[in-house]
Amino acid sequence: MSVSEHQGRMSQEGKRAGAAPVKKEMSAFRDYRAEARPSVKELYRLNHENQTLAFVEEKKRQYLGLDRRRAGMWDVLEELDRLVDDSDPDTESSQIAHALQSAEAARRDDQPPWFILTALIHDAGKILALWGEPQWAVVGDTFPVGCAYSDRIVFPELFANNPDMTNPRYQTRCGIYEEGRGLSQVHMSWGHDEYLYHVLKDHLPLEAQYMIRYHSFYAAHREGAYEHLMNEQDRQMMEWVRRFNPYDLYSKADAPPDVAKLRPYYQDLITKYFPAELRW
């Protein structure tokens, strides 16, 4: 299925003005039952059918030259305000609200500045959706391609029609990879995590790079799958991915942030780590 067929699937409803924040029980997050939010399962059907090794390699060729545009981080966050993530059963608020809620939660817990900044920008790679990528190639949980899809990935049955299922080379436990050689050798399904990692990897500490690159890799950081592909560094750094997760997940029920009031603090933080213009 070509990317262009899915252009326009992206939600651009923007934020729901005046929606009251609702405090949720922890167990009510990541509720993927189809009736909870029908578009979520449809997104994962497209994602699991189309995320093949060849697709990921094509997207890397297309985007990782980082020659599409130059823009400052705050400008990108403001642009993302037009996007609502179809894969997320927990929020209908805008991306800048999610960015600031995550960062503010980290700030309240006295996390170090680089951690707060990482919480702020962790989803900036969703800019891909505003450039016409279908949501299934931008958002949602990520997983390795080129080796067997774990049954600990959300909706594992939806991989049945993925063309890589018919290639025996890609369906062994390690597939095209070497056991224990590390996640840096592994092609992850294409989306906002992988893309943003490449945009920012020279500007943030290793812990932050992992938090960005693997924050949607729930099969690993929550379910413990794919240990056999990791090396010692991955195992240590996954701890930071886990530490970051509550700020991504449980801050979504917080009250909507006052963007204008918070802006100077965060613009200052951005300036400390990133150049005025980043390559996207």
Under the rule (CB under 5 A), what is the footprint of Fe ion? Answer: 123, 248
Comparison of 122 and 187: residue with beta carbon closer to Fe ion: 122
Return d(Cα 40, Cα 27) in angstroms, integer.
18
Label each residue of 71-130 as H, E or C: ECHHHHHHHHHHCECCCCCCCCCCHHHHHHHHHHHHHHCCCCHHHHHHHHHCCHHHHHHH
Q: How far is the CB of 216 from Fe ion (least distance, A)?
A: 5
Comparison of 177 and 200: residue with beta carbon closer to Fe ion: 200
Amino acid, single-letter form, for residue 262: L
Q: How far is the CB of 161 from Fe ion (least distance, A)?
A: 25
Comparison of 74 and 218: residue with beta carbon closer to Fe ion: 218
The DSSP string of 6-23 is: GTT-SB-----TTPPP--
Assess contact for 177 and 234: CB atoms under 8 A.
Answer: no
Comparison of 237 and 241: residue with beta carbon closer to Fe ion: 241
Q: How far is the CB of 100 from Fe ion (least distance, A)?
A: 12
Would you state the torsion angle of the CA atoms of residues 127, 133, 139, 143, taken in this order, to the nearest 10 degrees?
Answer: -120
| Angle subtended by helix axes 113-121 and 95-108, to nearest 10 | 160
Comparison of 234 and 248: residue with beta carbon closer to Fe ion: 248
Question: Residue 84: phi, psi to the nearest 5?
Answer: -115, 130
Return d(Cα 167, Cα 52) in angstroms, integer.
11
| CA angle (233, 98, 35) in 5-degree steps | 95
Q: How far is the CB of 171 from Fe ion (least distance, A)?
A: 27
Q: How far is the CB of 154 from Fe ion (least distance, A)?
A: 14
Comparison of 135 and 177: residue with beta carbon closer to Fe ion: 135
| Residue that the structure tokens 């400390």 belong to | 272
Q: How far is the CB of 40 from Fe ion (least distance, A)?
A: 14
Q: How far is the CB of 35 from Fe ion (least distance, A)?
A: 23
Comparison of 104 and 248: residue with beta carbon closer to Fe ion: 248
Q: How far is the CB of 174 from Fe ion (least distance, A)?
A: 27
Comparison of 164 and 193: residue with beta carbon closer to Fe ion: 193
How many Cβ atoms sit within 10 Å of the Cβ of residue 143?
26
> CA gyration radius for the chain?
18
Which residue intervals of the chain are DSSP H helices?
A: 38-50, 53-63, 73-79, 95-108, 113-121, 127-130, 192-200, 206-213, 218-221, 232-249, 259-273
